[in-house]
Amino acid sequence: MALFEARGIHKRFGQQVVLEHVDLSFEAGRLSGIMGPNGAGKTTCFNVLTGRHRPDRGRVTLDGEDITGLSPDAIARRGIARSFQVMSLFDENTALDNLIVALPEVRARGFDMFRRLSADDAAADRASAVLARVGLAGLERRRAGDLAYGERRALEIGIALASRPRLLFLDEPTSGLGSESTARLAELVQDLKRDHSVVVIEHDMQFLFALADTISVIHWGQVIANGTPDALRENAWVRRSALGGAA
Amino acid sequence: MTKRVSSAGRWLPREMAVLLVALATLPLWIEPVGLYQYLGVEIAIWMIYGLGFNLLLGYSGLPSFGHGAFFGIGAYAFGLFQLWAFESLWLGILCAVFAAFVAGAVVACFLSHRRGIYFALMTIAFGQVFWFIAIKWHAVTGGEDGLLNIPRPALDVGLASAGLESNTALYCFVLAVLAAVLVLLWRLVHSPFGKVLQAIRQNEARARFVGYNVWMFKWTVFSLSAAIAGLAGSLFSMAQQSAYPDVISLHASGIIVMMTLIGGGFVSFWGPVIGVTVYFLARDVLGTLTETWLLWFGLMFVVAVLFKPEGIAGAWQEHVGAASGRSRARRALAGLLSTGRD
């Protein structure tokens, strides 16, 4: 059984159908990609899968549990974390505090009003380890708002990673990055593959084809192709489209 | 191992110790400097109110412009308990805190999925509802006259009892309550709960996506802040020996916002403490020079919002070289005016 499944997802905003009978399935321990042209419905799909939007129809399951229509926080507590294309950090906090607040053990005592969080060295250690993993070692005390763009992208992933997710959704992680930073990010995602189940939306096809185990292609709100990168390279539609050319 | 060397969150930080020593010695020096004992009582009560209010405004980014309602509910609840039930300091205060907490909890049910301008407008609306009730429910609240001749019950601690009739005795009691509130709130803002509130203020959506039930946090902090306002209100009705609708008015609710902003509540725990002190000194010092002192205080508020949203505390932080709170304060102010709902 797949770790995460979406069956028959349908979503419309007013008269506009954005997702139409979308079926997706993500295996544990794999890196799954979602690609498609601009406006295809990729981010809406992410938003539906992670609880920001409730689907009009369809069913979403995590490890067999129906999570359709649950709130984002309820879905997050079940082990799904996501990063955002438009960066979404706690800008006034230090990089370390951004991660500390995302740790599951800190979340579990979120209503604790008396214990000093600053005295929790174990939490700080765990957050530091995550920070080092995303390449931000030494920047613990830097305010998130003062980090460079590429560092903020890494922190965006770090926040998702700090919650020790069962499934990690990354929304356009290379967005706005130069080639050097993209290469570093590819290394990071490759590293994450070792011990995480990851789903990546990306329109950098080279990035996605190099890293993903399977890819789903979304176009006009529908999944039009599904398979390994090699199989997709042979797909007639992908070959005809600009997507295939880039890969 | 990462050692996070920080004084934040200690039970009694240096600033608090200095403040408490200054306040504890106030009865000795306040009259020699030309002021009067009752001013200390007022300042201490409003500091409690301001500190509780800043949990919402400064720490959670929730602009409550009708918070006077909970201050007033505390004042009325204390008065009604003394007048209708029996004289008891502790039960009266408990009744006031509970009444304000319940009122806050009910109002928070309607507010906690709102933010920005919608949140602010709804707090004004609820504030007006409570003000209207206070004016019109004459049989209970005394209407426009309010409740008069509320007794100051004695401080009874089991084996010993002390009267609070004199302003000095009342001041000592209020100061002890203020000290307890300071310690507990200082601890709270450095706890996981406090850090989550600050995360919600900065980025509510992200806080939700890392697994926090934002609605519940907003509900909790609003109810808690209302309860603290109720505590301050109960002390106020003891001090004034009356409770009246004016304290619930929009005007009174606005004053606590002004105090908090001018003091620098957006960037510092001490913002409301500073703001309250400045307000009362302005009233009593500036007030001896001109009847229009509130106009000047209002202008100070306008200047703060336009040019120094980080307030006096922020200006001090800049002066001593600490990280500027300007961007935080500006974002927080912008957040007050932003629109949106969850």
| Rounded average pLDDT over A121-132 | 95
Which one of A49, A111, A167 makes the best mutation probe of the B interface by having the most chain B beta carbons within 10 Å? A111
Chain A closest-CA separation from residue B188 CA (Å): 5
| Through-space distance between the first and last CA atoms of chain B, rounded to whole angstroms | 39
Inter-chain touch A118–B187, beta carbons under 8 Å: no
Residue B340 lies in a domain: no
The pLDDT tens digits of the residues spanning B222-261 come to 999 999 999 999 999 999 999 999 999 999 999 999 999 9
User: Could you give the CA distance from residue B233 to residue B79 in angstroms, rounded to a whole number?
Assistant: 10
**Residue for token pair 């609070």:** B164
pLDDT at A242 over 80: no
Partner A contacted by B330 (CB < 8 A): no
Residue B332: what pLDDT? 62
Three-state DSSP string of chain A:
CCCEEEEEEEEEECCEEEEEEEEEEECCCCEEEEECCCCCCHHHHHHHHCCCCCCCEEEEEECCEECCCCCHHHHHHCCEEECCCCCCCCCCCEHHHHHHCCCHHHHHCCCCCCCCHHHCHHHHHHHHHHHHHCCCCCCCCCEHHHCCHHHHHHHHHHHHHHCCCCEEEEECCCCCCCHHHHHHHHHHHHHHHCCCEEEEECCCHHHHHHHCCEEEEEECCEEEEEECHHHHHCCHHHHHCHHHHHC
Residue A159: what pLDDT? 97
Chain A closest-CA separation from residue B202 CA (Å): 6
pLDDT at A177 over 50: yes
Considering only A35-39, B51-55, B130-134, which range has the smallest mean pLDDT? Answer: A35-39
Partner A contacted by B212 (CB < 8 A): yes
Q: Identify all chain A residues contacting B218, using CB atoms and an 8 Å cutoff.
A: none
Inter-chain touch A92–B327, beta carbons under 8 Å: yes
Give me the number of domains chain B comprises. 1
Residue B30 lies in a domain: no
Q: For residue B241, what are its two tokens?
A: 């020996």
pLDDT at A204 over 70: yes
Residue B80 lies in a domain: yes
Q: From the centroid of its chain, how far is CA B86?
A: 28
Task: Closest CB to B191: pick one of A71, A114, A145.
Answer: A114
In chain A the domains, ranked by start, together with CATH numbers, are: 1-79+165-247 (3.40.50.300), 90-163 (no CATH)
Where are the strands (E) in B212-301, listed by range?
Answer: 242-243
Inter-chain touch A159–B198, beta carbons under 8 Å: no
Residue B342: what pLDDT? 40
Domain of B110 in residue numbering reads as 36-251
Residue B20 lies in a domain: no
Residue B300: what pLDDT? 83
Q: Chains A and B: how many Cβ contacts under 8 Å?
A: 116
Residue A36 class from Cβ within 10 Å (0-12 exposed, 13-18 middle, 19+ buried)? Answer: buried
pLDDT band for position A117 (50/70/90)? confident
Residue B2: what pLDDT? 46
Q: Identify all chain A residues contacting B207, using CB atoms and an 8 Å cutoff.
A: 101
Partner A contacted by B190 (CB < 8 A): yes
Inter-chain touch B210–A76, beta carbons under 8 Å: yes
User: Could you give the CA distance from residue A10 to residue A19 in angstroms, rounded to a whole number?
Assistant: 5
Q: Residue B155 pairs with which residues in a beta bridge?
A: B162
| Rounded average pLDDT over A178-183 | 89
Order of strands across the sheet that contains A16-26: A16-26, A4-13, A57-62, A65-66
Inter-chain touch B9–A107, beta carbons under 8 Å: no
Considering only A85-94, A238-247, B121-130, B252-261, which range has the smallest mean pLDDT? Answer: A238-247
Inter-chain touch B192–A117, beta carbons under 8 Å: yes
Inter-chain touch B9–A117, beta carbons under 8 Å: yes
List, as one string, the DSSP characters of B3-56: -----TT-SS-HHHHHHHHHHHTHHHHTTTTT--HHHHHHHHHHHHHHHHHHII
User: What are the residues whose beta carbons fall under 8 Å from the beta carbon of A98, sequence distance 6 or more?
Assistant: A89, A90, A144, A155, A158, A159
Inter-chain touch B213–A145, beta carbons under 8 Å: no
pTM: 0.91
The pLDDT tens digits of the residues spanning B73-127 come to 999 999 999 999 999 999 999 999 999 999 999 999 999 998 889 999 999 999 9
User: Could you give the CA distance from residue A219 to residue A205 in angstroms, rounded to a whole number?
Assistant: 15
Inter-chain touch B323–A143, beta carbons under 8 Å: yes
Segment holding B156, helix H or strand E: strand B155-156
pLDDT band for position A236 (50/70/90)? confident
Residue B276 lies in a domain: no
Residue B323 lies in a domain: no
User: CB of A197 within 8 A of CB of A27?
Assistant: yes
User: Could you give the CA distance from residue B241 to residue A142 in angstroms, rounded to a whole number?
Assistant: 52
The pLDDT tens digits of the residues spanning B8-44 come to 557 788 999 999 999 999 999 999 998 999 999 999 9
Residue B314 lies in a domain: no
Q: For residue A240, what are its two tokens?
A: 């005809």
Q: For residue B202, what are its two tokens?
A: 């900065």
Task: Closest CB to B214: pick one of A73, A81, A82.
Answer: A73
- Of B260, B224, B274, B251, the residue nearest B333 (C-alpha): B260
Residue B335: what pLDDT? 57
pLDDT at B57 over 80: yes
Inter-chain touch A90–B203, beta carbons under 8 Å: yes
Task: Closest CB to B3: pick one of A81, A93, A121.
Answer: A121
What is the residue type of A29? Answer: G
The pLDDT tens digits of the residues spanning B264-311 come to 999 999 999 999 999 999 999 888 888 888 888 888 888 888 888 889
User: Could you give the CA distance from residue A97 to residue A115 in angstroms, rounded to a whole number?
Assistant: 16
Alpha carbon separation from B173 to A162, A182, A229, B168 (Å, rounded): 46, 63, 74, 9
Q: Residue A104 pairs with which residues in a beta bridge?
A: none
What is the residue type of A31? Answer: L
Task: Closest CB to A107: pick one of B203, B211, B328.
Answer: B211
C-alpha dihedral over B276, B277, B282, B283, to 10 degrees? Answer: 60
Which one of B204, B206, B267, B327 makes the best mutation probe of the A interface by having the most chain A beta carbons within 10 Å? B206
User: What are the residues whose beta carbons fall under 8 Å from the beta carbon of A143, sequence distance 6 or more?
Assistant: A91, A92, A93, A94, A95, B323
User: Could you give the CA distance from residue B333 to residue B214 in angstroms, rounded to a whole number?
Assistant: 20
Residue A50: what pLDDT? 94
Inter-chain touch A118–B198, beta carbons under 8 Å: no
Partner B contacted by A113 (CB < 8 A): yes
User: Could you give the CA distance from residue A20 to residue A8 in angstroms, rounded to a whole number?
Assistant: 7
DSSP assigned state of B143: G
Q: Identify all chain B residues contacting A101, using CB atoms and an 8 Å cutoff.
A: 195-196, 199, 207, 210
Inter-chain touch A113–B191, beta carbons under 8 Å: yes
Inter-chain touch A76–B211, beta carbons under 8 Å: yes
Residue B117 lies in a domain: yes
Chain B residues 296-325 with CB within 8 Å of chain A: 323
Q: For residue B327, what are its two tokens?
A: 């961007």
Chain A closest-CA separation from residue B260 CA (Å): 20
Chain A closest-CA separation from residue B129 CA (Å): 31
| Rounded average pLDDT over A144-154 | 94
Select the more confidently predicted residue: A239 or A125: A125
User: Could you give the CA distance from residue B262 to residue B294 in angstroms, rounded to a whole number?
Assistant: 14
Q: Identify all chain B residues contacting A81, using CB atoms and an 8 Å cutoff.
A: 209-210
User: Could you give the CA distance from residue B49 to residue B64 in angstroms, rounded to a whole number?
Assistant: 13
User: Could you give the CA distance from residue B44 to residue B201 in angstroms, rounded to a whole number?
Assistant: 27
**For A97, nearest residue in chain B (alpha carbons):** B195
